[in-house]
Amino acid sequence: MSDSSDERSRPAEPSDTPDADSEDVEALRRQVEEKYDFDNFGPADMADMTAEEWDVAFDPDTWITGDELLDRVDRDLRNRVATRDVFARIERHTDPPRVLAYSDEGYALVYPDGSIEGEGTVLRDVKPTVALASMDSYDVPETVPDNPLPEPEAVPEGGGELGNRMLQVIAGAQLLAGLGLILGGVLSVANVIGGPGVNVVFLFVGGLAFIAIALVLFFTVANARLSDTFRAEEYRERLRAIGLEDGERPDFVPELEPQRSGDGEETE
């Protein structure tokens, strides 16, 4: 075996300078704080973290656990759902204590010691929240809605109606301009208006160009409205799938009894 292989396989000798080790840890901690934005810490950041970076960023001796951790996770998740960063229904259970988050694409169960189990996209979204909520330096919103998800029938068709109306006005102006140019060309050919210096070809080409632009704008408005309708209906179906109408969870979510729903009512 070569000397380099011996060096790699030999256990590291304990350091004789604890102060130096402490300085190295502090230096690594500063690098981690500069590298990651913990106010917007997400699954991608968690995947990029090395074991050493994780150890210095999340000191086990200062982790928040127990009911306080679950309360913080509950509030932070509800805030993320309200701001549309996460799509999930959140339930805070007290017997035994835990937080359940689930959607139509997965679920996550958070326990007082910070452990998590689950599957799907919800598990991916909840992991960074638990990691951050366990840090005392992370500020969790104090006031959050009890029911951050809307009822299916309360979902609007779309929120861009003002923009659509502006495009319609512009398209209407373009259409009128185009029709006016074509009409001017026709009258010029009929010698009703204009004279020898009138460029009839320009009038017809310009009119057709304005009409084409108007048609494109009208098509854009129609497509946007149709897309908004489809997106709204898809969102309603996802809300129905997680039981906002009938109170039934998806089949893959484990049974938890007794439970407290997002409305604060005891259910079986």
Tell me what the mean pLDDT of segment 83-105 comes to.
Answer: 90
Is residue 80 pLDDT above 50, yes or no? yes
Among 74, 78, 76, residue whose Cα is nearest residue 92: 74
Listed in order, strand segments (DSSP E) in 31-78 are none
Distance CA(197)–CA(203), nearest Å, equals 12
Q: Is the pLDDT of residue 158 over 80?
A: no
Confidence band, pLDDT 50/70/90 cuts, at residue 35? confident
Tens of pLDDT, residues 95-145 = 889 999 999 889 999 999 888 999 999 999 999 899 888 888 788 888 888
Residue with the two structure tokens 């259970």: 93
Give the containing element (helix H, strand E) for 8. helix 3-9
Quick: pLDDT tens for 178-230: 999 888 888 887 777 766 556 778 888 888 999 999 999 989 888 887 877 88
259 - beta bridge partners?
A: 267
pTM of the predicted model over 0.85? no
* Distance of alpha carbon 92 from alpha carbon 125, whole angstroms: 17
How far apart are alpha carbons 177 and 209 in whole angstroms? 10
pLDDT one-digit tens code per residue, 235-244: 888 888 887 6
Strand pairing category for 116-119 and 259-260: unpaired
Give the model's pLDDT for residue 267.
40
CA atoms in the 13 A half-sphere facing the CB of 26: 6
Q: Which residues contact 73 (CB under 8 A, 6 or more apart)?
A: 99, 110, 126, 129, 130, 133
Cα–Cα distance between 213 and 33 in angstroms, integer? 51
- CA-atom Rg of the chain in angstroms: 31
Report the pLDDT value the prediction gives residue 7, as an integer from 0 to 100.
34
DSSP 197-262: T--HHHHHHHHHHHHHHHHHHHHHHHHHHHHHHHHHHHHHHHHHHTTTTT-PPPTTSPP-SSEE-T
Q: Is the pLDDT of residue 6 over 60?
A: no
Read off the tokens for 253. Answer: 């979510």
- State the Cα–Cα distance between residues 261 and 100, nearest whole angstrom: 10
Which H or E run includes 94?
A: strand 89-94
